[in-house]
Amino acid sequence: MFTWLDLKQAQKSIYQYMPCTPQYSWPLLNERVGKTVWVKHENHTPTGAFKIRGGLLHLLRLKSQGFNGGLITATRGNHGQSIALAGRKTGIAVTIIVPEGNSSEKNAAMRALGAELIIHGQDFDEARVKAAELSRSRNLTPVASFHVDLVTGVATYAYEFFTNTPELDKVYVGIGMGSGICGLIRTRDLLGLSTKIIGVVSTNAPAMALSVKQGHVVQTDTATTFADGVACRQPDAAAFEIIKNGADHIVQVSDDEIKTAMRVYYTDTHNLAEGAGAIGLAGMMQEVKAGKNDDHDLLGTILSGGNIDMDIFADIISLKS
């Protein structure tokens, strides 16, 4: 995993293209939760999600090494947008595989960034298999959804959060392929903090939670949550090891709880959150309601992305919290 020097170098590379994102403690949200809550706004990046940090770092490193080929990757959207934007910045051609039924607005964003978009498979994992096949047949270099460059890049948000916010007792963060939570864990350890990192998954995509509980990687047959950024059936083995050893525990939340958190973000902070972006807050609210936080706990969460199709958000926001 990355070192302190790696993290500092990543900051220099990434901040050429984007500023630090803000973190706020919102009065209405604090009142609702009954505690002081700090939100790290990764929905305020150039692609509307935290993934851009890792994509920029990875492609800038490839470019500095003289890479002149093409890249291919699979995604449900935010990872793909990060690679596509980084490809535009570096002049590297990018091909992206998405599953059928993927977000139309995320697809449009990736095409607008210059990526070749191919639709294949019923879910992310089938798209990932197709990307591996095309990497061989087209002689394209694959970009994994979990890679040390991606983790190091997104860890820059963790550094910002930990160093610009009063010392946090707990941070709740969603788990997809794992780069966000792994970046938080490693940065916390490098800073010597005692903050508990709590992962949050959907009950409809519980592969990482099951893996940690059973002590080995567990693959599920489906991952049917609408929160596409956490809809993963097969955990990455390296991410699993970091999460197993570094996360305090993992919370499972329902799709209804995620939708409630999305509405809370809108009413209490006037920020859009996609499902995966709100899942950390959903986990926090579940545990606060269940009395699993001490009275003095200072809580944090990551609004990791705000890229949700307008029609889906309109349906969710029209429901009562």
In the block, tokens 């995620």 appear at: 258
Domain around 16: 4-49+148-317
Average pLDDT of the segment spanning 273-282: 98
Average pLDDT of the segment spanning 226-236: 93
Residues 92 and 168 in one domain: no
Would you say 18 and 50 are in contact if contact means Cβ atoms under 8 Å apart?
no
Residues 264 and 239 in one domain: yes
Residues 11 and 131 in one domain: no
The domain boundary, picked from 123, 142, 161, lies at: 142
Report which of residues 159 and 1 the model is more confident about: 159
In the block, tokens 């002689």 appear at: 139
Residues 137 and 235 in one domain: no
**Residues 10-46 pLDDT 10s:** 999 999 999 999 999 999 999 999 999 999 999 999 9
Report the Cα 235 to chain-centroid distance in Å.
14
The domain boundary, picked from 97, 118, 142, lies at: 142
Q: What secondary structure, in 3-state letters, does the chain show?
A: CCCHHHHHHHHHHHCCCCCCCCEECCHHHHHHHCCCEEEEEHHHCCCCECCHHHHHHHHHHHHHCCCCCEEEEECCCHHHHHHHHHHHHHCCEEEEEECCCCCHHHHHHHHHCCCEEEECCCCHHHHHHHHHHHHHHCCCEECCCCCHHHHHHHHHHHHHHHHHCCCCCEEEEECCCCHHHHHHHHHHHHHCCCCEEEEEEECCCCHHHHHHHHCCCCCCCCCCCCCHHHCCCCCCHHHHHHHHHHCCEEEEECHHHHHHHHHHHHHHHCCCCCHHHHHHHHHHHHHHHCCCCCCCCCEEEEECECCCCHHHHHHHHCCCC
* CATH classification of the domain holding 121: 3.40.50.1100
E strand segments, 93-180? 93-98, 116-119, 141-142, 170-174
Residues 152 and 259 in one domain: yes
Average pLDDT value for the chain: 96
Residues 203 and 188 in one domain: yes
Residues 154 and 291 in one domain: yes
**Residues 72-119 pLDDT 10s:** 999 988 999 999 999 999 999 999 999 999 999 999 999 999 999 999
63, pLDDT greater than 90: yes
Residues 207 and 307 in one domain: yes
166, pLDDT greater than 90: no
pTM of the model: 0.96
Q: Report the percent of the chain where pLDDT is more than 90.
A: 92
Name, in order, each residue with C-beta under 8 angstroms of 162's C-beta and a sequence gap of 6 or more.
168, 187, 188, 191, 193, 195
Would you say 312 and 48 are in contact if contact means Cβ atoms under 8 Å apart?
no
Residues 157 and 76 in one domain: no
For 160, what's the count of Cα atoms within 13 Å in the CB-facing half-sphere? 23
Residues 12 and 82 in one domain: no
320, pLDDT greater than 70: no
The domain boundary, picked from 78, 112, 142, lies at: 142
Domain count, the chain: 2
Residues 157 and 272 in one domain: yes
Residues 239 and 133 in one domain: no
State in Å, rounded, how far the first CA of the chain is from the last one: 40
